[in-house]
């Protein structure tokens, strides 16, 4: 067949469209699909070409800090200091190369993580529905759509049921458009083509079937894909803060350099050339040029670590906000529980049955057994017929496709020896309405052996009791006695069972479609079943962790309040009266706010309640993480401080709205992610705290020397060496620092607190002064001993570096005592080793000696350096201890 010419598909009839693409109601067969895939290529949007390598490299220079360094190169050049000029430029170049490589790595790591979120579609091929990657779709395929799906290709709609699609990605219109299969006029604009579903748009309600008419770059989205952003920028609030800080710092440095220049010439009588060099030295000393790269690496490493533990970050700022979360609102079913449903109890009007057996294997006993189980069979048959899940046995293990709640009903039917294909033959399905969390029921219409219509209704017992006026006892219908059912509902729910009702209604033979109006009354209640869905063991531990980390956990469920409370107790959530969706509707904001803190279970809620909960929690000052999976969870996910979507059972709409996706749908993963988020934030802070004093000290050394009228104890070249080397070695080691022991025992961070609080600024100042004293002191001392200028300078540089090494061990802990262990972060000692080697090279290798003007040191020089390291560490530790002591004195101990 030929490639479909650009056709006005929206104006064609369904039949014409199918014919043009050689497709039919059963879809393509596998061979044909494969042939077409080979000729049309994968259904993947052409990746937007980002800036090329050259441009990305040049962008590394686009930075105020670097401009200052480049200007310094020019100044030294103008002064004829060729060597200085070459080395400064060399450093700028090395910095750009390092930044280029690291940014590239970080971006490809991010891209690899995003690729974990692939899109699958349900396609009809050879009459069977199967799940295929959206990339394998070809023109002519029939794609099934339902609420929450992302449309995987451009589709001519063949069948629709209340289908509404949100096309903001394409048209900018955020109100969902109603869709039908009827053709529209050829000149209809994109937004008016109601017979089409376009790639990249989101199904917000209903369901439908569409014929693929265009894939990949041929889709409307493909045509405008140059408008879409590709990889997200590696940016977070903290990094933006740092960038702002760096700019301010640069300005301060420039002013300071200018002041020094003038001061030196006017008051100290230095020559203009000398002072220019000093100003340049000051500029390069104070600029933390290595810092941005280190911060990016820490972030990228954190995101990678999270991905390894099943949390996929979609938006980078999430990494930071995770560490500040104070409330986690979690779905119950599947996240806190295993979502492995087993029917354990059945209540009919006449009696109560206990069902044994574990998992989905249709093997187990019923007690009481006996011939009287006619009512039980009727109920099980209803559960079987109204079902859209399926069971299969692979290697002696029973697995399911579809909803676990429905699969459990299949297992129940299996235990009663009902055969699904027999039953389906006897009562073929005519129409069905799938389960939805808003309505809390599903229904299906069948034709029985006498040609009569039968509707089966399965869902939340309260809903069913509203529409039943009769109940089934043994073999006949009798008037409904609501008291029986209220009692057994309460009894089952108190045992932690998920309660489901089943009902039946006979209708005329002429009925072919199911309507919600058919489900309003006239049903006969067949009974209730109670399913066990055990809590996840790991969730119990994770909830404990959250509590000790000062994070409240709230369970949100559509399930019955009593069931939810029973499960909450097993999970170790604080007991308290659950609030139901109905309560939420009745309470005013102020009333609700008063109850929010002590309520940890919200039951019988609809997705719309989640948004209100997020808003009210935020209003009382909490920072909320909210989980979600359905299409209607999107507003709450977007509103939450962190929206978390389920990776397995979540819809595309939920993932799109979320900042983070749980690859394993597991609550414990959220707790891990919070821990990682806190670790990343800690490590960002640690490396900032570590790097800035180096710059501070160098600047102080130069300033003091100029004020005192001394020769420069450290040359600009040597300063550059120290800046470069410490940033890429020592500071980098902090990126690998694991979580501190008490990380999950601390309260959540206040995101409004400034990054560099007074305490941290004090620390930076303290260490800067310490390093200055050591470096300058040893310089002056060795000069007095008669060392050569070169040797004294070499000593000053080494003292500075060794002071940094000592400080590194303190920096590993923000609050606790310094750490010297190797095991939890081998990078620290590795980098210290490397650093020492580099300093030995700097001191003794002839080529480096002539480049940097260094000289070999006497042994006592190294002894002083070592002493500097120990002293720096000791003083910082003493300061930490003192601040702790004062703080504990000020805060009376809790009694």
**Least gap, CB of 493 to ligand ADP (angstroms):** 9
Residue nearest to Mg ion (CB): 333
Q: Check 154, 331, 533, 665 and give the catalytic one.
A: 331
Contact partner at residue 403 from ligand ADP, Mg ion, none, CB < 5 to 8 Å by partner kind: ligand ADP
Describe the crossing of helices 667-708 and 272-286 by its angle, rounded to 10 degrees: 160
**Least gap, CB of 591 to ligand ADP (angstroms):** 24
Contact partner at residue 811 from Mg ion, ligand ADP, none, CB < 5 to 8 Å by partner kind: none
N-terminal to C-terminal alpha carbon distance within the chain? 82
> Which CB, 18 or 531, lies closer to Mg ion?
531
Tokens of 240: 């933006």
> Which CB, 333 or 783, lies closer to Mg ion?
333
CA–CA separation, 15 and 159 (whole Å)? 12
Contact partner at residue 75 from Mg ion, ligand ADP, none, CB < 5 to 8 Å by partner kind: none
Q: Could you tell me which of 564, 546, 656, 662 has the C-alpha nearest to residue 604?
A: 564
β-pairing verdict for 660-662 and 642-646: parallel
**Least gap, CB of 873 to ligand ADP (angstroms):** 53
Per-residue interface string for the shown chain with Mg ion, residues 751-770, x marking contact by CB under 5 A: --------------------
CB-based contact 195:16 (threshold 8 Å): no
> Which CB, 160 or 557, lies closer to ligand ADP?
557
Contact partner at residue 307 from Mg ion, ligand ADP, none, CB < 5 to 8 Å by partner kind: none
Backbone angles phi, psi at 496, to 5 degrees: 80, 15
> Which CB, 166 or 331, lies closer to ligand ADP?
331
Q: Hey, which residues does 603 pair with through a beta bridge? A: 580
CA–CA separation, 667 and 332 (whole Å)? 9
Residue nearest to ligand ADP (CB): 558
DSSP secondary structure letter of residue 327? E
**Least gap, CB of 24 to ligand ADP (angstroms):** 31
CB-based contact 802:736 (threshold 8 Å): no
CA 579 to chain centre: 28
**Least gap, CB of 592 to ligand ADP (angstroms):** 20
> Which CB, 331 or 622, lies closer to ligand ADP?
331
> Which CB, 493 or 689, lies closer to Mg ion?
493
CB neighbours of residue 479 within 10 Å: 7
**Least gap, CB of 400 to Mg ion (angstroms):** 14
Q: What is the 3-state secondary structure (H, E, C) of 728-753?
A: HHHHHHHHHCCCCCCHHHCCCCCCCC
CA distances for 590 relative to 329, 467, 587, 620, 773, angstroms: 20, 35, 8, 10, 59
The residue ranges that bind ligand ADP (CB under 6 A) are 331-333, 403, 405-406, 435, 437, 440-442, 458-460, 498-500, 557-560
Q: Does 436 bind Mg ion (CB under 5 A)?
A: no
DSSP secondary structure letter of residue 150? B
**Least gap, CB of 646 to Mg ion (angstroms):** 11
CA–CA separation, 357 and 762 (whole Å)? 65
What is the number of H-type helices and E-type strands within the chain?
31, 27
Residues contacting 86, CB < 8 A, separation 6+:
none
Query: What is the torsional sign of CA 788, 793, 799, 802?
Result: negative
Q: Does 605 bind Mg ion (CB under 5 A)?
A: no
> Which CB, 113 or 613, lies closer to Mg ion?
613
User: Contacts with Mg ion in 154-193 (CB under 5 A)?
Assistant: none
Contact partner at residue 194 from Mg ion, ligand ADP, none, CB < 5 to 8 Å by partner kind: none
> Which CB, 435 or 844, lies closer to ligand ADP?
435
Describe the crossing of helices 561-571 and 537-548 by its angle, rounded to 10 degrees: 70
Instruction: Check if 187 is active-site.
Output: no
Contact partner at residue 459 from Mg ion, ligand ADP, none, CB < 5 to 8 Å by partner kind: ligand ADP
β-pairing verdict for 468-473 and 453-459: unpaired
Q: Could you tell me which of 148, 139, 140 has the C-alpha nearest to residue 120?
A: 148
Q: Is 816 helix (H, G, I), strand (E, B) or coil?
A: coil
β-pairing verdict for 196-197 and 154-166: antiparallel
How many residues bind Mg ion (CB under 5 A)? The answer is 1
**Least gap, CB of 519 to ligand ADP (angstroms):** 13
> Which CB, 152 or 607, lies closer to ligand ADP?
607
Contact partner at residue 331 from ligand ADP, Mg ion, none, CB < 5 to 8 Å by partner kind: ligand ADP
Q: Is 312 helix (H, G, I), strand (E, B) or coil?
A: strand
- Helices marked H in 394-511: 404-415, 420-426, 461-467, 482-494
CA–CA separation, 159 and 146 (whole Å)? 12
**Least gap, CB of 675 to Mg ion (angstroms):** 28
Q: Is 501 left (phi over 0), alpha (psi -120 to 50) or beta?
A: beta
> Which CB, 563 or 843, lies closer to Mg ion?
563
**Least gap, CB of 405 to Mg ion (angstroms):** 7
**Least gap, CB of 127 to ligand ADP (angstroms):** 25
CB-based contact 457:383 (threshold 8 Å): no
User: Which residue from 60, 63, 333, 794 is in contact with Mg ion, where contact means CB under 5 A?
Assistant: 333
Span of 330-338, 540-548, 778-786, 883-891 interacting with Mg ion by CB under 5 A: 330-338
Pairs from 79-85 (Cβ < 8 Å, separation ≥ 24): 79/273, 79/276, 79/277, 81/277, 83/717, 83/851, 84/277, 84/280, 84/716, 84/717
**Least gap, CB of 150 to Mg ion (angstroms):** 21
Q: Does 330 bind Mg ion (CB under 5 A)?
A: no
Q: Is 318 helix (H, G, I), strand (E, B) or coil?
A: helix
CB-based contact 51:164 (threshold 8 Å): no
> Which CB, 205 or 771, lies closer to Mg ion?
205
> Which CB, 193 or 610, lies closer to ligand ADP?
610
CB-based contact 876:810 (threshold 8 Å): yes
> Which CB, 606 or 849, lies closer to ligand ADP?
606
CB-based contact 451:507 (threshold 8 Å): no
**Least gap, CB of 158 to ligand ADP (angstroms):** 26
Span of 6-14, 329-337, 760-768, 834-842 interacting with Mg ion by CB under 5 A: 329-337
**Which residues are the active-site residues?**
331
Q: Which residues bind Mg ion (CB under 5 A)?
A: 333
């Amino acid at each position: 067949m030929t490639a479909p010419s650009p056709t006005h598909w929206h104006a064609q009839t369904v039949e014409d469209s199918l014919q043009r693409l050689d497709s039919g109601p059963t879809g393509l067969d596998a061979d044909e699909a494969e042939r077409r895939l080979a000729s049309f290529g994968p259904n993947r949007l052409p990746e937007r070409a980002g800036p090329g390598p050259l441009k990305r490299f040049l962008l590394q220079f686009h930075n105020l800090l670097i401009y200052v360094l480049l200007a310094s190169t020019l100044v030294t050049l103008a002064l004829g200091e060729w060597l200085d000029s070459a080395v400064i430029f060399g450093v700028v170049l090395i910095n750009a190369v390092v930044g280029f490589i690291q940014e590239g790595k970080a971006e490809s790591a991010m891209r690899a993580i995003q690729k974990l979120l692939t899109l699958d579609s349900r396609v009809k091929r050879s009459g069977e529905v199967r799940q295929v990657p959206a990339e394998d779709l070809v023109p002519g395929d029939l794609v099934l759509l339902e609420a929450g799906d992302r449309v995987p290709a451009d589709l001519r709609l063949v069948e629709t049921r209340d289908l509404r699609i949100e096309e903001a990605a394409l048209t900018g219109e955020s109100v969902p458009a109603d869709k039908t299969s009827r053709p529209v006029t050829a000149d209809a604009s994109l937004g008016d083509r109601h017979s089409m579903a376009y790639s990249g748009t989101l199904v917000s309600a209903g369901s439908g079937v569409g014929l693929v008419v265009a894939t990949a770059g041929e889709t409307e989205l493909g045509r405008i894909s140059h408008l879409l952003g590709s990889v997200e920028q590696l940016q977070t609030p903290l990094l933006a803060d740092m960038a702002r800080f760096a700019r301010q710092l640069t300005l301060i440095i420039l002013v300071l350099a200018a002041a020094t220049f003038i001061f030196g010439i006017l008051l100290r009588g230095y020559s203009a050339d000398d002072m220019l060099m000093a100003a340049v030295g000051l500029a390069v000393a104070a600029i933390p040029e290595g810092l941005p790269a280190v911060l990016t690496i820490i972030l990228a490493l954190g995101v990678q670590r999270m991905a390894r533990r099943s949390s996929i970050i979609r938006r980078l700022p999430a990494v930071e906000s995770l560490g500040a979360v104070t409330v986690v609102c979690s779905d119950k079913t599947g996240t806190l529980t295993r979502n492995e449903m087993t029917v354990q109890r059945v209540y009919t009007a006449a009696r109560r049955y206990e069902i044994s057996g574990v998992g989905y294997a249709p093997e187990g006993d019923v007690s009481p057994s006996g011939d009287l189980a006619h009512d039980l069979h009727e109920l099980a048959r209803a559960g079987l017929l109204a079902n859209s899940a399926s069971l299969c046995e692979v290697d002696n293990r029973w697995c399911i496709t579809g909803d676990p709640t429905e699969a459990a009903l299949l297992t129940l039917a299996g235990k009663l020896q009902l055969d699904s294909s027999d039953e389906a033959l006897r009562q073929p399905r005519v129409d069905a309405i799938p389960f939805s969390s808003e309505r809390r029921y599903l229904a299906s219409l069948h034709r029985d052996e006498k040609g009569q219509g039968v509707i089966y209704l399965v869902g939340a017992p309260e809903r069913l009791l509203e529409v039943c006026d009769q109940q089934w006892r043994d073999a006949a219908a009798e008037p409904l006695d609501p008291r029986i059912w209220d009692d057994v509902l309460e009894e089952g729910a108190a045992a932690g069972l998920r309660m489901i009702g089943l009902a039946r209604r006979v209708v005329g033979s002429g009925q072919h479609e199911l309507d919600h109006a058919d489900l309003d009354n006239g049903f006969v209640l067949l009974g209730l079943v109670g399913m066990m869905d055990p809590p996840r063991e790991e969730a119990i531990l994770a909830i404990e962790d959250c509590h000790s980390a000062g994070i409240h956990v709230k369970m949100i469920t559509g399930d019955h309040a009593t069931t939810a409370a029973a499960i909450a107790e097993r999970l170790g959530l604080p007991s308290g009266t659950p609030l139901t969706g109905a309560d939420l509707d009745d309470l005013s904001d102020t009333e609700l706010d008063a109850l929010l803190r002590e309520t940890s279970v919200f039951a019988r809620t609809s997705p719309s309640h989640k948004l209100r909960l997020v808003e009210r929690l935020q209003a009382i000052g909490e920072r909320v993480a909210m989980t979600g999976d359905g299409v209607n969870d999107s507003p709450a996910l977007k509103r939450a401080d962190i929206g978390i979507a389920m990776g397995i059972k979540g819809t595309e709409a939920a993932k799109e709205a979320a900042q983070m996706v749980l690859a394993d749908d597991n609550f414990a993963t959220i707790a891990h992610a919070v821990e990682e988020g806190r670790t990343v934030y800690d490590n960002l802070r640690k490396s900032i705290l570590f790097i800035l004093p180096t710059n501070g000290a160098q600047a102080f050394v130069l300033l003091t020397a100029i004020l005192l009228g001394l020769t420069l104890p450290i040359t600009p070249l040597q300063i550059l060496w120290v800046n470069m080397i410490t940033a890429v070695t020592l500071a980098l080691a902090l990126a690998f620092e694991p979580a501190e022991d008490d990380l999950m025992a601390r309260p959540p961070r206040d995101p409004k607190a400034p990054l560099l609080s007074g305490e941290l600024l004090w620390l930076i100042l303290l260490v800067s002064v310490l390093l200055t004293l050591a470096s300058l002191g040893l310089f002056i001392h060795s000069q007095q001993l008669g060392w050569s200028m070169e040797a004294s300078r070499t000593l000053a540089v080494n003292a500075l570096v060794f002071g940094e090494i000592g400080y590194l061990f303190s920096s590993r802990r923000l609050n606790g005592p310094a750490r010297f262990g190797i095991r939890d972060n081998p990078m620290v000692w590795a980098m210290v080793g490397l650093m020492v080697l580099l300093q030995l090279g700097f001191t003794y290798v002839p080529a480096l000696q002539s480049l940097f003007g260094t000289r070999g040191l006497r042994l006592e020089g190294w002894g002083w350096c070592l002493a500097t390291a120990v002293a720096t560490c000791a003083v910082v530790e003493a300061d930490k201890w003192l601040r702790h002591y004062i703080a504990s004195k000020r805060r009376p101990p809790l009694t």
